[in-house]
Amino acid sequence: MSNNEAFVSIRGMSFSRGDRLIYNNVDLDIPRGKVTAVMGPSGTGKTTLLRLIGGQLLPDSGTIKVDGHNVPALKRGPLFELRKQKMGMLFQSGALFTDLSVFENVAFPLRVHTDLPNSMVRDLVLMKLEAVGLRGARDLMPAELSGGMARRVALARTIALDPEMILYDEPFTGLDPISMGVTVKLIKSLNDALGLTSILVTHDVEEACSIADYVCILSDGGVIGFDTPDNLIKHGSDQVKQFMTGEADGPVPFHFPAADLAEDMLRGNSGA
Amino acid sequence: MVLNQLQNLGKAGLERLQSLGRAGTFLLGSVPWGGPGSAGFRDLIKQIYSIGVRSLSIILVAGFFVGMVLGLQGYTILSDFGSEAALGTMVSLTLLRELGPVMTALLFAGRAGSALTAEIGLMKATEQLSAMEMMGVDPLKRVITPRIWGGFIAMPILALLFSLVGIWGGAYVGIQMLGVDEGAYWGNMQASVEFYDDVIKGLIKSLVFGLVVTWIAVFQGYDSVPTSEGISKATTQTVVVASLSVLGLDFVLTAIMLGGV
């Protein structure tokens, strides 16, 4: 894949949290205009990856370029400008502002970043809400919404400023099958209709594979597979196959690194 | 063992210092208006309402009772010396110089400070602050700045109202119940309360307290561990740290203002 096609391009990126190395010298390209699903066992830092791309966390070393801008090197002002113009992020909880109604939540980025007249803001908000099927819920407060609806409102808010890329943090977690189906369909159709680049962090292999153009599998501080879903299932390494098929133990260890069990038990009360 | 304890002490010290440094840069970053997605005048008014106006009931009721107690105690002490006529002077000076600013700040820390910490901590825990950042809106400018200014503006007004109601409370007890001469109460007060030395200096105190208490409250929320335990700890911390800071600062400010020590 050449660099021009990549919307996000990560080179030699390392990141550690405390003593734990989360990413070790990672190279990764996220293609423009496609849906890329980032998967991997819990604790491999999938959400961390989104926060690194969004500039909320700084890597220890390496570059993270979003549409040519090296995010970790940006100062506060340009970073906020880049987020405003190019990025949107959908949080797992939806992260709606609890003191604002559904309508005002979606209108928030428009009101803050533009000087559009009220009538125009209203039209835009209703269009975005229509896109997620919740135009009728505009007067509700976030506390009155179900989890799936809250996430759709958040999605409408995320697309309010027409970003070029949307980062989805666990968009399918905790949804009932219908909401899940709706969300899957929405992500795909928004991506295609608006020509977005979507990065999807998720555990749901089946749903992700149904809409993702590419799948990226993370483990042990690096990328262990990056390809189309079909290719990964057919030709991936053992570790990748283990993940895609959901085996409990295999190359990806079931146990968190620890001392030998027998030794640990015999140590008795001398340690924690 | 000793080495371990030393290490822990050093670690705790370093953490305190770091947190102090974070609090300092936090304040510098959040006091100036302007920046990505900065808050507007309406946000400030909204904060003055929720921080100031909604604290009115507790401030007014507390002020009236404190004034009544001052009237009772003052009368008992002063009548031993036959100088009940000085009751108005005593009540008003005590309130304007000390009790007004200090009591208001303490009540404010409990009422508005804890609410601010919990609100911001919850916004952090529910990723609302992160969501703002990712929308290109700086939460420091959007959420924190209007709250800090709201507290800074509301506190001196609340303290003045506290003193005002307190003086009425003292008058009610002194004049209506204990029979102090009404003319003496108000007249002596008018003759001995200096605008700059008493009223303005009290106001300066409450401006400082307003800034410090609000700063501590919003910083504790912003810096909290985003879990229910973390937020409850941060809220407690706000009330404890803010109250102690107010009492400590009150001594320092009084010493400076009296020109003694």
Looking at this predicted complex, what is its ipTM?
0.81
Q: So what's the pLDDT on residue B177?
A: 93
Residues of A in contact with B136 (CB under 8 A): 80-85, 109, 113, 161
Report the sign of the C-alpha dihedral through residues A44, A47, A50, A52, in that order: negative
Answer for the pair B240, B111: CB distance below 8 angstroms, yes or no: no
Does the beta carbon of B136 lie under 8 angstroms from any beta carbon of chain A? yes
DSSP state for residue B53 in the 8-state scheme: G
pLDDT at B89: 94
Q: How confident is the model at residue A3 (pLDDT cuts 50, 70, 90)?
A: very low
Closest CA to B154 of B200, B98, B209, B95: B209
Is residue A4 in a domain? Answer: no
pLDDT of B260 reads 57
Chain A residues within 8 A of B37 when measuring between CB atoms: 80, 112-113
Residues in chain A: 272
Partner A contacted by B32 (CB < 8 A): no
Q: Do A87 and B134 touch (CB under 8 A)?
A: yes
In angstroms, rounded to a whole number, what is the distance separating the alpha carbons of residues A214 and A209? 8
Cβ-nearest to A83 among B127, B135, B142? B135
How many domains does chain A contain in total?
Answer: 1
* Residue A81 to residue B137, Cβ atoms within 8 A: no
Chain A residue with CA closest to B143: the answer is A97
A83 vs B: CB within 8 A: yes
Q: Where are the alpha helices (DSSP H) in chain B?
A: 2-30, 41-47, 56-80, 87-93, 100-108, 114-125, 128-134, 139, 145-171, 182-192, 201-222, 228-258
Task: Give the residue extent of every domain in chain B.
Answer: 35-258
Task: Please indicate whether, in this complex, the C-beta atoms of A54 and B134 are within 8 angstroms of each other.
Answer: yes
Q: Is residue A17 part of a domain?
A: no
The whole-model pTM stands at 0.84
Chain A within 8 Å of B11 (Cβ-Cβ)?
Answer: no
B39-61 b/e (C-beta count within 10 Å ≥ 16 → b): beeebbebbbebbbeebeebbbe
d(CA A107, CA A98): 14
Mean pLDDT of A129-146: 89
Residue numbers of the domain that contains A241? 32-53+75-270
CATH value at residue A190: 3.40.50.300
A195 within domain boundaries: yes
In a domain, A11, yes or no: no
Q: By C-alpha distance, which of B199, B234, B48 is closest to B125?
A: B234
Instruction: Summarize pLDDT for B179-195 with one digit per residue, the tens.
Output: 999 999 999 999 999 99
A2 belongs to a structural domain = no
With an 8 Å Cβ cutoff, is A85 touching chain B?
yes
Mean pLDDT of the region B51-60: 94
Each residue's pLDDT tens digit, B84-140: 899 999 999 999 999 999 999 999 999 999 999 999 999 999 999 999 999 888 899
Tokens of A247: 């085996």
* The two three-digit tokens of residue B107, written as one number: 């009540």
- Find residues 99-128 of chain A whose CB sits inside 8 Å of chain B: 108-109, 112-113
Nearest to B134 among A76, A88, A92 (CB): A88
Question: In angstroms, rounded to a whole number, what is the distance separating the alpha carbons of residues A23 and B190?
Answer: 72
> A-chain residues within 8 Å CB-CB of B127?
91-93, 95
Q: Tell me: the pLDDT tens digits for A81-106?
A: 899 888 999 988 889 999 899 999 99
A160: closest chain B residue by CA: B135
